[in-house]
Structure 1
């Protein structure tokens, strides 16, 4: 049995160690304010994470969920990229305490030059402290920068922008996406899985396509999204283990929660997106599985019914999860 500890486990341990003395009441008050920003109701031109209490509350409440959402998006990128591709460098825009760079370390082995940009010094400070627990991140450059129209990025194989666009004005959102497109060979953008979050992702997706990128995930194509605006939205779900501190901060007794998120992963190099993507939780019924799919080469939404007569494909359908590529490799 390997004694190597995963980045996810290391992150949980590091959070527990740094935040063990955090007063839950103080953290809960900060979380209530942060939720409003997270859900995209209050775009701002000032840092959302203002002080140590805000950052500690964010780390306890949001960092594990951001980690899992970004890891899901990066895994989809890795599946679509050439088999031998891994980012040799990574820039995380608006990275705060660094959840996305932890997620990249959980997706690709090895050490790479990493830069985290954020305008909140307390977030960068805590991110640096947390990263000391993971060897791959000990040389990360935690750099203060205003995330907006004047943003300039160094070239990088991977640029991530997670849970940032909801904090920006429309002009700054466009500037940040364009800066990511100029700098990155691969760009991954993640937003909350709300109608507004999806709208921002579609806006970013359109700009990436206009900049010459190929869509790697979740879409199986680069055509316009087949969802009729205002009728639905494309989003996915990642399961997040809740620590005891997390449960104290937000209440509730469950040991997990499901993080809903929307995302786009795009590349300048050729990639192989899924033939179709499961865009809703599969419905398992007696002798059949109903899969809601977004597919190609004819872009559109369709429901596929997989029954026992489909043999191995039926077993794969029973094991399929929301957000998975379809059909799975080998089928």
Structure 2
């Protein structure tokens, strides 16, 4: 069983004991909290029912979004693997599951820091079903984030996923500055204009702290996107279980999670020559690509007469490096 399948099975077992109406009401409140622009002054997850609803609503999507960011990292530095991982604001541990899927082998010290005890307790419970020893043996530690969490010395990888929107401006700066002490930072936010702006601000602080952007940007210079006119985001396909569909109120067996992200490293990593920043448009005999490059945003039309380049373009997806 893959890590993703193991996570979905654990969530199915979890939801068996939660009344659907109660979970649905909690999901509606969580949607407003996590997607809205207003930061909260207290943990969003108040009790086990909230934590269970959050796990059903957010864990599969967070797992896929973080997994996509980690895939970009692994494509850039395939020989690197973290010996230690800290998940800041990790809640029920979705990012830890994504890291376990990316690097299933080897020893790794994993620590999840969050201010919501119900989320930590549930995350610890879910992790017992993980195949990865690093996740089963993770430390789940309660800690407020807004003042700047303390990282273990020499942390290799820090993940910060869907956290910054819960914090005010000072808290966001403190979390990003703490994360910047690691060797590699993977930061993910919702793929909304507000989420993108939070990622953009974090990216600038990470670069100012001496890190270099690995993905999605092909450079560490200023982002060429004009705020208010557009925003940089990507999509990850999320498989939904029958219980997950019931809680979410949908019928499709999948959904697309829109997310913005940045991966930055304390060392120089090979950068992609360009990144596809919109879903490619395939027309008769041509593929239209929207690209971010070291020279800024541009459009490229790949025609059928280019042979193997055209075939590669047809196989290229939103968020992929270009050329492959």
TM-score w.r.t. length of structure 1: 0.95
Is the 2:3–2:131 Cα contact (8 Å) retained in structure 1?
no
Aligned position for 2:201: 203
Distance 2:206 2:101 in 1: 25
Runs of 4+ with deviation above 2 angstroms: none
| Structure 1: gaps spanning 5 or more residues | none
Distance 2:315 2:131 in 1: 34
Q: CA RMSD in A?
A: 0.9
CA distances 1:191-215 after superposition (whole Å, capped 9, x unpaired): 0000000000000000000000010
Is the 1:36–1:42 Cα contact (8 Å) retained in structure 2?
no
Distance 1:162 1:115 in 2: 14
CA distances 1:297-327 after superposition (whole Å, capped 9, x unpaired): x2x1111101111111111111111000111
Is the 1:198–1:234 Cα contact (8 Å) retained in structure 2?
yes
Number of corresponding residues: 320
CA distances 1:35-65 after superposition (whole Å, capped 9, x unpaired): 0111133301210111111111011111000
- The answer to whether 1:35 aligns with 2:19 is no
Q: 1:278 to 1:150 in 2, by over 3 A?
A: closer
Cα deviation, residue 87, structure 1: 0.6
Among candidates 308, 311, 315, match of residue 312 of structure 1: 308
Within-5 A mapping of 1:55-66: 55-66=51-62
| Structure 2: gaps spanning 5 or more residues | none
Aligned position for 1:154: 152
Aligned position for 2:74: 78
Among candidates 282, 286, 289, match of residue 288 of structure 1: 286
Aligned position for 2:225: 227
Is the 2:232–2:277 Cα contact (8 Å) retained in structure 1?
yes
Within-5 A mapping of 1:115-134: 115-134=111-130
Among candidates 83, 96, 102, match of residue 107 of structure 1: 102
Distance 1:150 1:236 in 2: 28
Cα deviation, residue 6, structure 1: 1.0
CA distances 1:177-233 after superposition (whole Å, capped 9, x unpaired): 000112x10001100000000000000000000000010000000111111121000
Q: 1:150 to 1:320 in 2, by over 3 A?
A: closer
SS in structure 1 opposite 2:298? strand
